[in-house]
Amino acid sequence: MGHMAVESRRNPSLAFSLTYSIWLLTWTSMAASFLISSPGVTRDSAGRRAIGLPAGFPRTSRPGWSVPSKRTSSFKGLSDKTQKHSQASAASAFAANATDASQKPKGMLPRGDYLDKMVVVLSFPAILNFMLVPLVGAADTFWVGKMGNAAALAGQGAANQVFSTTFWVLGFLPSVITPLVASAYGKGDMEGVRKHIAEALFLATFIGTIGMTLVVLIPQILVSVVIPSGAPAMEYAVPYILARGASFVPAMLTTVGFATFRGTLDTFTPLMVSAFSNLFHIALLPIFVLKLGFGVVGAGLATCISDVVSCSVYLTILLRKKFIESSSLFRVPTLAAISELMSAGFSVQLRTLAMNSVFIVGSGRIQAMDLTGTSAAAHTIATQLWSIGGVILLAMSTVAAILVPKAMATASIDGDLVSARHTANRMLIWGLIVGCILAAVQLSMIPLLNVFTPLEEVREAARVPFTISAAMQIMNGVVFVGE
């Protein structure tokens, strides 16, 4: 197995073969999930209790985990008449709730009112969900660091940055689909919800295929943006990004599933799916990286498999809840619908492109200043720990993406734009408060740098950038929520 690890570094075609053998197997499993999904399971019946929402929030027709009734041992689909009644009840409940003066924010500062309770209820599972991503990334860094090779850690970190940048530059759909679904769901327009989801799934498949093709055809060109020619890290980076490449489509579909449930105010389902797939990922890491001797390639394969598992689970749940049909992935949206999604995502992607360009340029400069990989390895560790706090702020921004469209939908009913403005301002204040807390917490985590590598020179090099990034959390709190 150790021989296979060496060959996978020096011969990218071996990493390619390993990855796409698993890719074919896992996508076959995902296709099977379409066939075994029960056609009789629909959305929750009207009036069932919503998990985790404050008293007074409309609970009718809320997507969530179904619970069998005491009167029956199996699920039964609602008739068309019952479904229409459920949707109408959702709209009327929302309208009644929207005009309840006790649930409208009174100012921009947190004061423990209904809005603050909503922020806490929605942000807590979202934070847990988003934190799984950097924690899993930290697990990658931990196990690759156990190889005791600075070049391997530098190569994995650089390739991961290139893959993430490529993914998020192309992956504008989550930032667009969440407010669209939230707005349609808030009005009780379930047909609109299904329409937006189907359009997003098709575009995710199309865009993901483009991304996967780029990674497969020009991996060395992509990685060379960050790693200079001749650097030892290059021989580790190319096989790693190839191993990650097969996950482009399932990862893109996963973001749509996640955004869909956020838009319907269901933060519990994404948390469970992410926890399941990422724990699966973490369990594979020591086996693939060390025991089987795949090294850096093993970390990429573990990520790839967990992404396909997550995608399969999301699609199965969406099918069972009748949010999509099996043809949704292949139903071509109208040009008008594509134009709406593209234009809505353009402004957000400008910021994403600018931010990720800075990450790429920074990574490239760090790789070039020290070809031994020491500085790059330190940067990988510091960035990974910073991202744990960063995703908490990202979770806060997703709460804003839910609550502000809901407040605007309320304003369209009662004409009260003041409450919508208070909602937006309150979220900015929350971002500032959480950013300050995270800055203090991150500074206290400096001793954790010693856990990720046995190399003393890497530990010392990571301290200064880690301290600087802690101070940045304060600014990020306002910027992320403002987006």
472 φψ region: left (φ > 0), alpha (ψ -120 to 50), beta (else): alpha
- Which one-letter DSSP state was computed for residue 291? I
Looking at 321-455, list the stretches that DSSP marks H as alpha helix, in order from N- to C-terminal side. 335-369, 374-414, 417-444
Rounded distance, CA 73 to CA 255, Å? 33
Helix/strand/coil for 116: helix
**pLDDT at 255 (0 to 100):** 87
Chunked into runs of 10 residues, the chain (483 residues) has average pLDDT values of: 44 46 45 41 38 39 35 35 39 45 66 80 76 71 83 85 81 75 79 85 88 89 84 88 88 88 82 86 90 88 90 91 76 76 69 74 77 78 78 83 79 74 86 90 82 79 86 88 83
Domain boundaries, the chain: 2-34+113-482
- The whole-number pLDDT of residue 91 equals 40
Amino acid at position 266, single letter: D
Q: What pLDDT score does 317 carry?
A: 92
Please give the pLDDT value at position 348: 66
Assessment of whether the complete model's pTM goes beyond 0.75: no
SS3 assignment, position 101: helix
